[in-house]
Amino acid sequence: MEPVERARGARPLWPAGAVCGLVAAFAGLAVASLAAVAVRPESAPLTAVGGAVVDRTPAAVKEWAIRTFGTSDKPVLTLGITVVLAVLAAATGVLAVHRLHTGLALAGAVGVLGAVAALGRPEASWRDALPSLAGGAVAAGVLYLLVTTLRRPRPAPGRPGGTWPMDRRGFGRIVTATVAASAVAGLAGRRLGAHGSARATASRADLVLPPPAVPAPPVPAGADLPIPGLSPFITPTGDFYRVDTALVVPRVDAGTWRLTLRGDGVARPLSLDLRTLLARPLVEHDVTLTCVSNEVGGPYAGNARWLGVRLADLLREAGVRPPSEGGPADQLVARSVDGMTIGTPVEAVMDGRDALLAVGMNGAPLPFAHGFPVRMVVPGLYGYVSACKWLTELRLTTFAAYDAYWVRRSWAQQAVVKTQSRIDTPRPFGRVSPGRVMVAGVAWAQHRGISRVEVRVDDGPWSPARLAAADGVDTWRQWVWPWDAVPGGHTLQVRATDGSGRTQTGTRSGTLPDGATGWHTVTVDVRPL
């Protein structure tokens, strides 16, 4: 087709071109999302591209994103990708008005890009490419239809022999029809997707967790101090931090879930369903979970009462021996339904601590966001090396032979939780009245326990804080230090000593590669309120 000449006095074509591009993209996305229902949610173009971005983001940028956007980092990412796609689509439409074939090729190329992103995701099969390819083809088709209609000369009534440069009525009709059809397709995709997750939701609602064979003792009196602003000893499930790479929370149907166990030194590989897992004796145990990305004083720590199966028993039954008993595997690689891999030292899992295949959190089945139906919980290790959610496979191997997901992204292969303490109240840059102020917070050194917490003001001497009752070595411990605050600006600092007698270092280091160090420091303004 020849580039069109705009008749004198006619409207510019580029706004209509942009509309062509946007409508074509909308149609493509709608069809792709419908197709993704048949493949898997992760294969939908926006999700696939978002996932690819997450997979490839350098650790430092990811730390920045978590720091800046917190748990809304994912919606922000999705919005960003949508905006980029919209701009690209509009530009493609404008281009197509003048160079149709180039525009069509570009639309197709965007589809191919989505397909490549989808194929690059963990656990992807060739089918993951289909939604984006179908979307690209539909977008190109719609673009062709719209642009050719737009460029079709139309006899101008009342002006013999004259033409309008565009068939506006036909164009409008096609735009309306396409948008309507795409909306229907998109909604249908949603409905069908919701249907799949409805089964998962029902399977969670129907799940009755058996009572623990080994219940956790009640939280001791005095472990949970009634101080305003202090983190509650047990974090309510709804407030529990969430850190993962999933742009759509996997909703696993408990009825079809299976866990396999295989690998080096596994004499009897296992494949079990949830019913079989729940038939085993369940133990209940309080464990504080911490993220390696948590900065000093940060929010990515939470304490819950977990219910689960002792992983060590399961491994023993399968014939696994830890390295200290001559077993060939030193790494247990957990794999989730969305392809996350998390490597944990076999020795830690089998050394007698309550490493769990958890099914319950604070008295209920795991929420979907926290790994329903089964996740790992290992006291003492950061989440990225121990706490795989939506667990589906356990494989025994060595650290020498295999690097898990985060290790390939420059995090340490093994990472024991570092002793940390946090001032919860007063808040940073808060204002307090002179006189008695309750300085309080939590300290953790999972699986070693907390033996001492000290506070100091303005680089003065360290004073011991009062420790709340200990629930065990695997949970954080509250502390409180009554302070006689005098007017002025003051700096509060806290440090903890773990059960082995080692005091938390004041040397500041960032979260990469194995967890932040340093003393939490809070500046407050003491003034009559």
Ligand X SMILES: Nc1nc2c(c(=O)[nH]1)N[C@H]1C(S)=C(S)[C@@H](COP(=O)(O)O)O[C@H]1N2
Q: Which residues bind ligand X (CB under 6 A)?
A: 240-245, 289, 291, 336, 338, 340, 370, 383-384, 387-390
Residue 512 contacts residue 476 (beta carbons within 8 Å): no
Burial 223-256 (b: 16+ CB within 10 A, else e): bbbebeebbebbbebeebbbbbbbbbbbbbbbee
Angle between helices 130-151 and 100-119 (to 10 degrees): 170
Q: Which is nearer to ligand X, 104 or 337 (CB)?
A: 337
Shortest Å, Cβ 246 to ligand X: 6
Q: Which is nearer to ligand X, 167 or 253 (CB)?
A: 253
- Cβ-based nearer residue to Mo ion, 384 or 479: 384
Site residues (CB under 5 A) for Mo ion, limited to 152-211: none
- In the list 243, 439, 450, 468, the residue contacting Mo ion (rule: CB under 5 A) is 243
- Cβ neighbourhood burial of 264 (10 Å; 0-12, 13-18, 19+): middle
Stretch that binds Mo ion, among 9-17, 71-79, 284-292, 427-435 (CB under 5 A): 284-292
83, 77, 110: which is closest to 95 by C-alpha? 110
State in angstroms the smallest separation of the CB of 387 from Mo ion. 8
For residues 233 and 390, which CB has a smaller minimum distance to ligand X in the complex? Answer: 390
**DSSP secondary structure, 297-352, as one string:** T-S-EEEEEEEEEEHHHHHHHTT---GGGT-S--EEEEEETT--EEEEEHHHHTSS
Q: What residue 282 binds from Mo ion, ligand X, none (CB within 5 to 8 A, per partner kind)?
A: none
Q: Decide whether 89 or 516 has the Cβ nearer to ligand X.
A: 516
Residue 384 CB, nearest distance to Mo ion (Å)?
4
Tell whether residue 483 is a contact of Mo ion (CB under 5 A). Answer: no
Whole-number Å distance between alpha carbons of 173 and 354: 65
> Please, what is the minimum distance in Å from the beta carbon of residue 249 to Mo ion?
16
Q: Which helix (H) or strand (E) holds 149?
A: helix 130-151
CB 459, min distance to ligand X, A = 33
Segment contacting Mo ion by CB under 5 A, of 1-9, 43-51, 160-168, 289-297: 289-297
| Nearer CB in complex with Mo ion: 234/291 | 291
Decide whether 344 or 421 has the Cβ nearer to ligand X.
344
Q: Is 368 in the site for Mo ion (CB under 5 A)?
A: no
Q: State in angstroms the smallest separation of the CB of 387 from ligand X.
A: 4
- The conformation of residue 481, written as its DSSP 8-state character, comes to E
Residue 244 binding target from Mo ion, ligand X, none, CB below 5 to 8 Å by type: ligand X
Choice between 384 and 476, CB closer to ligand X:
384
Closest distance of CB 512 from ligand X, Å: 13
Q: How far is the CB of 294 from ligand X (least distance, A)?
A: 8
CB 308 within 8 A of CB 259: no
Rounded to whole angstroms, the Cα distance separating 418 from 516 reads 8
Question: What does 381 bind: ligand X, Mo ion, none (CB cut-off 5 to 8 Å by kind)?
Answer: none
Sign of CA dihedral 23, 24, 25, 27: positive
Write down the least CB distance from residue 516 to Mo ion, Å: 12
> Does 291 help bind Mo ion (rule: CB under 5 A)?
yes
Neighbours of 299 (CB within 10 A): 14
Nearer to Mo ion, 384 or 476 (CB): 384
- Report if residue 384 touches Mo ion, rule: CB under 5 A: yes
* H or E element in which residue 46 lies: helix 45-56
Q: Give residues with Cβ within 8 angstroms of 287, minimum separation 6.
A: 303, 304, 306, 354, 356, 377, 379, 446, 474, 475
Can you tell me whether residue 395 is helix, strand or coil?
strand
Q: Which does 166 bind (CB under 5 to 8 A by kind): ligand X, Mo ion, none?
A: none
* Residue closest to Mo ion (Cβ): 291
To the nearest 10°, the Cα dihedral for 389, 391, 395, 397?
0
CA angle 411, 413, 417 (to 5 degrees): 80
Residue 383 as a binder of Mo ion (CB under 5 A): the answer is yes
**Among all residues, whose Cβ is closest to ligand X?**
383
Nearer to ligand X, 287 or 455 (CB): 287
Length of the chain: 529
Shortest reach from residue 81's CB to Mo ion, in Å: 23
Q: Which residues bind Mo ion (CB under 5 A)?
A: 243, 291, 383-384
